[in-house]
């Protein structure tokens, strides 16, 4: 490549062409546009949630059960107490089932089973499960535990459906995080003469804790927001109920019910319930992050 003899600028030979500059600007513009487009629905969701949801909030809203009446406006339709408590209880039970099992599976896959054909098979099925529509989990529980046993809806069956839904999410996210823990850490702990299980509990898990927490929260949030698995597993009731063997109300179900109502006040209650659900998940997130920060040194 010949350099023009009279180049005033020593760097002229290395100059970036106009066309490249234009392409670069264009590509950057497209990326920014994509980001902005993605933000639009997000912002709108938050905006409408706050606008419509806050209007429905009141002390009564949180402290009374829905009355089931849709013919009178105002407070006579009741609040969403049973739905909040039902969601908390069912999701808590589902988490208690899915999180330990899920983390256990992920640990086994990463720390022990890694190259075996069985691990590959498990991983494959977990991937399949991740893609299964949530209503299928509900159907499965319905067929197995309600039709199969000839019994009726119950909170625990809703929990089981939710835990099935959470399981692949917990496994997959924890597995990815565990794989990120540098092998050098495991090696140096093993080289100190530590038994494998102790390496896992003292070195691998603490290192991966924050990341795993994020995955777990994702699963909890997803379960808390699902209606489909609860439709024909937990049933629906207006009353506050702590008994897992009985019908149980939940926020998503309540929203689903209310939003189809012709009465404005009831539809507004759905907005309030939706805002409540989002707020609950937000609070859970914040708490978990604080806990994680405290337990992590680095």
Residues at the site binding other proteins, with contacts judged by CB under 8 A:
114-115, 182, 184-195, 198-199, 202-203, 206-207, 209, 296-298
Q: At CB < 8 A and 24+ separation, what contacts does 44-53 make?
A: 48/271, 49/271, 49/274, 49/275, 49/278, 50/275, 52/268, 52/271, 52/272, 52/275, 53/271, 53/272, 53/274, 53/275, 53/276
Closer residue to other proteins (CB): 16 or 298? 298
Closer residue to other proteins (CB): 135 or 194? 194
Closer residue to other proteins (CB): 101 or 194? 194
Closest contact distance (angstroms) between CB of 288 and other proteins is: 17
Q: Write the CB contacts of 159 (distance below 8 Å, at least 6 apart in sequence).
A: 90, 91, 93, 94, 97, 234, 244
CA distance linking residue 148 with residue 154, whole number of Å: 14
Closest contact distance (angstroms) between CB of 123 and other proteins is: 15
Closest contact distance (angstroms) between CB of 202 and other proteins is: 6
Label residues 54-78 b or e (16+ Cβ within 10 Å = b): eebbeeebeebbbeeebeeeeeebb
Asked whether 224 and 91 are in contact (CB, 8 A), the reply is yes
Closer residue to other proteins (CB): 23 or 188? 188
Closer residue to other proteins (CB): 200 or 270? 200
Closer residue to other proteins (CB): 148 or 182? 182
- Residue 286 neighbours by CB distance under 10 Å: 10
Closest contact distance (angstroms) between CB of 298 and other proteins is: 5
Task: Calculate the alpha carbon distances from 189 to 78, 160, 199, 226 in Å.
Answer: 58, 38, 6, 42
Closest contact distance (angstroms) between CB of 208 and other proteins is: 9
Closest contact distance (angstroms) between CB of 223 and other proteins is: 28
């Amino acid at each position: 490549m010949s350099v023009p003899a009279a180049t005033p600028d020593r760097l002229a030979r290395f100059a970036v062409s106009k066309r490249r500059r234009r392409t670069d600007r264009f590509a950057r513009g497209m990326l920014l546009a994509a980001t902005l487009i993605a933000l639009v629905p997000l912002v709108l969701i938050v905006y409408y949630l706050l606008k419509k949801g806050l209007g429905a909030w009141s002390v009564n809203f949180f402290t009374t059960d829905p009355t089931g009446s849709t013919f009178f406006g105002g407070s006579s339709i009741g609040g969403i107490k049973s739905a909040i408590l039902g969601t908390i209880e069912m999701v808590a039970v589902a988490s208690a089932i899915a999180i330990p099992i899920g983390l256990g599976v992920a640990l086994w896959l990463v720390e022990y089973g890694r190259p075996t054909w069985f691990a590959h098979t498990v991983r494959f099925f977990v991937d399949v499960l991740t893609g299964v529509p949530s209503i299928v989990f509900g159907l499965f529980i319905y067929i197995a535990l309600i039709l199969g046993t000839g019994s009726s809806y119950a909170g625990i069956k809703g929990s089981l459906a939710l835990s099935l839904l959470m399981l692949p999410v917990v496994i997959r996210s924890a597995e990815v995080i565990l794989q990120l823990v540098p092998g050098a850490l495991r090696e140096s702990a093993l080289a100190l003469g530590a038994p494998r299980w102790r390496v896992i509990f003292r070195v691998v898990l603490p290192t991966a804790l924050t990341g795993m927490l994020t995955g777990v929260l994702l699963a909890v949030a997803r379960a808390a927001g699902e209606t489909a698995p609860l439709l024909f597993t937990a049933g629906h009731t207006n009353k506050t109920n702590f008994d897992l063997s009985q019908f149980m109300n939940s926020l998503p179900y309540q929203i689903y019910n209310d939003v189809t109502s012709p009465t404005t006040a009831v539809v507004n209650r759905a907005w309030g319930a939706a805002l409540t659900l989002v707020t609950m998940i937000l609070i859970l997130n914040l708490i978990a992050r604080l806990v994680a920060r405290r337990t992590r040194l680095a």
